[in-house]
Amino acid sequence: MAAAAPPRPVLPDGYEKWPCLYPAYISKDKSRAEGRRIPKAKAVPAPTCKEMLDVLSTSGLQVRGERKIYCREKSKEPPFWGRVRVQLKTSTGELVNPKFSSREDVMLFTAEKIPQLKTRTNPKHGQDSGQQQGKQGKGKKKK
């Protein structure tokens, strides 16, 4: 007997019409030809889909992450995967949040808030400091 497929998530009405946002749209590292859609002065260095989701989930908008790769993205590595869909309007056509009337408003808000994330302001110092205390360099062993 074949294994049953996992249940598909129930998507809200009109989900297909929600605008998509890729990290490349707000990336300071990209040119306009590579997909950046906001001014370079307002863009963010190396944004990720997860950071975009974190910022937008606190904005009061309904958001969903999808595992897609932007067609202009040169690298197909996992850090570059993902896009975010955002609900700007209800099924009746009313704005969900008057602060966000367009896709550009959402991109500018996201680019403004990502540098304020804890992961950006207090990055983990990594494992370097913890590992070097207990390890010795090459040479004689301690007795």
| 17-27 confidence digits (pLDDT tens) | 899 999 999 99
Q: Quick check: is 107 in a domain?
A: yes
Q: Quick check: is 60 in a domain?
A: yes
| 32-65 confidence digits (pLDDT tens) | 999 999 999 999 999 999 999 999 999 889 999 9
Mean pLDDT of the chain: 85
Residue 63: CATH number of its domain: 3.30.56.30
- Looking at the structure of the chain, the number of domains it has is 1
Q: Quick check: is 46 in a domain?
A: yes
DSSP character string of 58-113: TTTS-EEEEEEE-TT-S--SGGGEEEEEE--B-TTS-BS-TT--SHHHHHHHHHHH
Q: Quick check: is 63 in a domain?
A: yes
Which residues span the domain enclosing 85? 15-122
Give this prediction's pTM: 0.77
Check if the beta carbon of residue 65 is closer than 8 Å to that of residue 57. Answer: no
Q: Quick check: is 2 in a domain?
A: no
Check if the beta carbon of residue 82 is closer than 8 Å to that of residue 65. Answer: yes
pLDDT of residue 70: 92
